[in-house]
């Protein structure tokens, strides 16, 4: 039901202090935002070669994603490593992703943990959430639900949707915390309001089962429909099963609520 996805972060940060660097860096940002990836790479490469961690990180992203250059995980690793060794949290976190997935390097959970921890200690929510996943699944460390909850909570309090959804799962299942359906609904809702499809699907489950909320097939169908529109396979299956138990009028009600919820950007649904 719950799918925890750890994705590379593309953050074109503007934390720069050198005016000349800032001007060239901004040219790269403008090119990137206009979809001119090749120009972005040209602007950032000299800066990266001069040792600017921001530019090194961005080049890593471009090589990882194949934007403006051929996709090349090994070259992405090169630039991420140079940036990460300067203490750049985004690069440290992305290095963790590469080692965890085995992209450009042999898969190595322990090294992934090392880089995630360095970024997490700087307060970087994505890395904190990724550490939660590692402890949750027992990757590179003994499985430890309580420690997973601690890392998920740190990221969730920063508004990181994936961590909010995962924290909802922990409360839903009683893993690392006492089972608490109402608290699970709270965290699922916060993530769902940011468009997290897993959380939206899990809210459908809570309404279908009457866990932490009043049992309501219409709202279950609504949340599953919303999650299904993002490609969540569990939501598609659950929505279709629920529809067989509902009258056409109730299905229409659910579909109307779903459209209204999307228009409100998932707030107050």
pLDDT reported for residue 26: 85
pLDDT reported for residue 18: 63
Neighbours of 43 (CB within 10 A): 22
Tokens 């979809």 -> residue: 35
Does the pLDDT at position 34 exceed 60?
Answer: yes
The model's confidence at residue 72, banded by pLDDT at 50, 70 and 90, is: very high
The percentage of the chain sitting over the pLDDT mark of 70, rounded to a whole number, equals 92
In a domain, 242, yes or no: yes
Average pLDDT over residues 209-236: 97
Average pLDDT over residues 41-48: 93
In a domain, 192, yes or no: yes
The model's confidence at residue 8, banded by pLDDT at 50, 70 and 90, is: very low
Does the pLDDT at position 5 exceed 90?
Answer: no
Does the pLDDT at position 1 exceed 80?
Answer: no
In a domain, 167, yes or no: no
The total number of structural domains that make up the chain = 1
- Note down the domain range covering 248: 180-269
Sign of CA dihedral 145, 4, 121, 140: positive
In a domain, 241, yes or no: yes
Across the chain, mean pLDDT equals 92
pLDDT reported for residue 2: 28
The model's confidence at residue 241, banded by pLDDT at 50, 70 and 90, is: very high
In a domain, 160, yes or no: no
pLDDT reported for residue 4: 25
CA distance 237 to 223: 12
pLDDT reported for residue 150: 98
Secondary structure of the chain in the HEC alphabet?
CCCCCCCCCCCCCCCCCCHHHHHHHHHHHHHHHCCCHHHHHHHHHHHHHCCCHHHHHHHHHHHHHCCCCCCCHHHHHHHHHHHHCCCCHHHHHHHHHHHHHCCCCCCCHHHHHHHHHHHHCCCCHHHHHHHHHHHHHCCCCCCCHHHHHHHHHHHHHCCCHHHHHHHHHHHHHCCCCCCCHHHHHHHHHHHHCCCCHHHHHHHHHHHHHCCCCCCCHHHHHHHHHHHHCCCCHHHHHHHHHHHCCCCHHHHHHHHHHHHHHHHCCCCCC
In a domain, 206, yes or no: yes
User: Is the pLDDT higher at 14 or at 179?
Assistant: 179
- Beta carbons of 74 and 59 less than 8 angstroms apart: no
257 token code pair = 């609520």
CA 43 to chain centre: 28
Tokens 């440290």 -> residue: 92
Q: What pLDDT, in 10s, does the model give residues 109-143?
A: 999 999 999 999 999 999 999 999 999 999 999 99
In a domain, 213, yes or no: yes
In a domain, 187, yes or no: yes
Average pLDDT over residues 67-77: 96
Q: What pLDDT, in 10s, does the model give residues 194-207?
A: 999 999 999 999 99
The model's confidence at residue 227, banded by pLDDT at 50, 70 and 90, is: very high
Ranges 11-25, 49-63, 109-123, 216-230: which has the least confidence: 11-25
């Amino acid at each position: 039901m719950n799918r925890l996805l750890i994705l590379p972060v593309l953050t074109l940060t503007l934390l720069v202090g050198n005016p000349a660097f800032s001007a060239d860096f901004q040219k790269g940002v403008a090119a990137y935002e206009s979809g001119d990836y090749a120009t972005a790479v040209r602007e950032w490469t000299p800066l990266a070669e001069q040792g600017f961690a921001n530019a090194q990180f961005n080049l890593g992203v471009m090589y990882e994603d194949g934007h403006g250059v051929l996709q090349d995980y090994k070259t992405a690793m090169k630039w991420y490593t140079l940036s990460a060794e300067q203490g750049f949290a985004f690069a440290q976190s992305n290095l963790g992703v590469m080692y965890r997935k085995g992209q450009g390097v042999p898969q190595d959970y322990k090294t992934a943990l090392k880089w995630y921890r360095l970024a997490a200690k700087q307060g970087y929510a994505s890395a904190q959430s990724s550490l939660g996943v590692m402890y949750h699944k027992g990757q590179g460390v003994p499985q430890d639900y309580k420690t997973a909850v601690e890392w998920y909570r740190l990221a969730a309090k920063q508004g990181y949707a994936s961590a909010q959804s995962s924290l909802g799962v922990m409360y839903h299942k009683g893993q690392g915390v006492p089972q608490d359906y109402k608290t699970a609904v709270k965290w699922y809702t916060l993530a769902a309001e940011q468009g997290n499809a897993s959380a939206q699907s899990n809210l459908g489950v809570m309404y279908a089962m009457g866990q932490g909320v009043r049992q309501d097939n219409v709202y279950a169908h609504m949340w599953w429909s919303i999650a299904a529109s993002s490609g969540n396979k569990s939501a598609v299956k659950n929505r279709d099963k629920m529809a067989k138990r509902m009258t056409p009028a109730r299905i229409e009600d659910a579909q109307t609520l779903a459209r209204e919820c999307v228009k409100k950007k998932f707030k107050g649904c």
